[in-house]
A and B are shown apart, each in its own frame.
Chain A
Amino acid sequence: MELSQVRYFITLCRTLNFTRAAEQCHVTQPAFTRAIQRLEDELGGPLLFRERNLTQLTELGRDMRPHLEAMLEAAEAATALAQAKRQHTSASLKIGLGPGIGASVIAPLLGEVTRVLPEVSIYFDEAGPSMLIDAMLGDALDCALLPDDCDLPERLNRWPLYTETAALIVPHAHRLARQNEVTARDILDETILVGERCGGFGNKLADITGYSLRLQRCNGAAAQMLDLVAAGLGIALLSERLSFGQEVKPCRFTEPDLTRRILLTAVAGRPLNPAAASFVKLCRARAFH
């Protein structure tokens, strides 16, 4: 398939009008129609119903649209990034981080984006999934890292990035700090700090085991929870991928296995600026261990 055919088709999807779409693409209508027909031949059937006053996508057209839109954007983004690098274009990269998801995993990728585009400004927004989803749909965020147990609307593309396991965070002087491995049985008498913004591992543990655990609500970010752990208010279950600092000790939590999958999400069909597009591609291209 040709880039121009795909561009014409996507323009037609947006206008549902052959005359207007051909005008927007700066080609004559016969040339435009021929290109659409060639794309239909290649894809194996009509992409549109052509009626006198009504142009509508066929089922094949509807199926292919998001994929072809992604391919067109990828073609344009690969060129736009090269151009942005040459022209030192400034851009912003706005990333949402779901509850308890840190930036240490993606930091090296951001380093690569800023190497190529030194003028880029990076913003993080840490919040619950529904707020981040609304922000993405409202164009206030380019993309977000979210746990896979949240409800994602169909308009969001999602790519699994990595799986993360919970570590048990205790003060250095804690009796468990010297243990190589900790299980649920070891913490039955402990106060466990839990909060919606910290990944929900504590609540998950209570659900899985059915134990009556001593849960203490702490509705802050991971940084505040770590302060409370250091001050001896309780212990916490947080993603092992967070940075914990010197004040507390992360221990391996082995039973039950508390893991969650983290997805990269972005609004389907919305073109991203070169910084955001290259970040998404860098994330998708690699494997995270």
Chain B
Amino acid sequence: MPAIDTMTEQLASLTASRRQSAAWDAAYQEILAKLNRDGFLDQILPEGAEFPDFMLPSAEGRLVGLREALSHGPVVLQFFRGEWCPFCKLMLEALTESYDKIEAAGASLLALTPETGGLALKMKTRHHARFEVLADVDFGVGLAAGVVFKIPKLYRGRLDASGLSFPQRHGNAAWCLPVPATFIIAPDGRIAWRFVDVDFTHRAEPADIIAAIGQV
């Protein structure tokens, strides 16, 4: 029986197919070059730092807090770019499949998206996710974590041309996005582990997240 591809393999194959388009590749390279040049990763909350407590609206319209979630065990905090992003879809699928194991390891998962207008719920129901999907309205928690960047010109042009209206989806015309960072937050509120990469096609593999929860 052929082995099921890991999420990382699926992401790599999606990236390879996207990169065949020269225009997509140029926009992608522009993001990586810009964030690397700016030293973007240095400004993201490091391991050991306290993750500021927050409350945000959930997909179902409840206000969900970090501290509350931490009272039941470690929290995996995952930033997503949005409902439209094919790389996020792969990751959501993988996390949904792995959620039993994440829970068995004693943790819960909070997924954050900057999108508004019911898109958090759309994202959650499409993948039948059992974890909370929260709307990080106006990028507040993303900004506090240091994961938000302004989208460079080429990539913004591609989004615009594809008809994705970020001002409408975000309710904010900043044209920003978070990098899809993962934080594992210990019950004392400190960041025990993190995965950060300027490349949005690179994500924390669920198996690595589960192993890291075991170390908290």
Chain A interface (Cβ within 8 Å of chain B)? Answer: 1-3, 6, 38, 41-44, 64, 67-68, 70-79, 81-83, 85-86, 108-109, 112-113, 115-116, 159, 278, 281-282, 284-287
Q: Is the CB of A285 within 8 A of B174?
A: no
Which positions 138-177 of chain B face chain A at CB distance < 8 Å? Answer: 138-141, 143-144, 146, 148-150, 152-153, 171-174, 176
The residues of B that contact A38 with a CB separation of less than 8 Å are 38
Contact of A73 among B40, B65, B138, B174 (CB under 8 A): B138
Selected from A42, A282, A287, the residue in CB contact (under 8 A) with B117 is A287
Residues of A within 8 A of B150 (CB): 1, 42-44
Cβ-closest chain B residue relative to A2: B43
Asked if A81 meets B174 with Cβ closer than 8 Å, knowing A42-B38, A43-B150, A116-B63, the reply is: no
Number of interface residues of B (CB under 8 A): 40
Pick from B20-28, B48-56, B101-109 the stretch touching chain A: B48-56
Chain B, Cβ-Cβ closest to A1: B148
What separation, in Å, do the CA atoms of A286 and B61 have in the docked complex? 7
What A residues does B141 contact at CB under 8 A? 74-75, 78
A75 near B144 with CB under 8 A, answer: yes
Known: A77-B140, A285-B61. 6 other contacts (CB 8 A): A70-B172, A71-B138, A78-B54, A85-B55, A281-B56, A285-B137
Given A78-B144, A82-B55, A282-B63: A71 and B116 within 8 A (CB)?
no
| Residues in A neighbouring B67, C-beta threshold 8 A | 82, 86
Central interface residue in B67, B141, B143, B173, by most chain A CB within 10 Å:
B143
The answer to whether the Cβ of B57 comes within 8 Å of any Cβ in the partner chain is yes
Query: When chains A and B are docked, how far (Å) is the Cα of A147 from the Cα of B117?
Result: 18
Q: What's the minimum C-beta distance from A247 to chain B, rounded to whole angstroms?
A: 32
CA separation between A59 and B138, bound complex, in Å? 22
Contact for B54 among A42, A79, A287, CB less than 8 A: A79
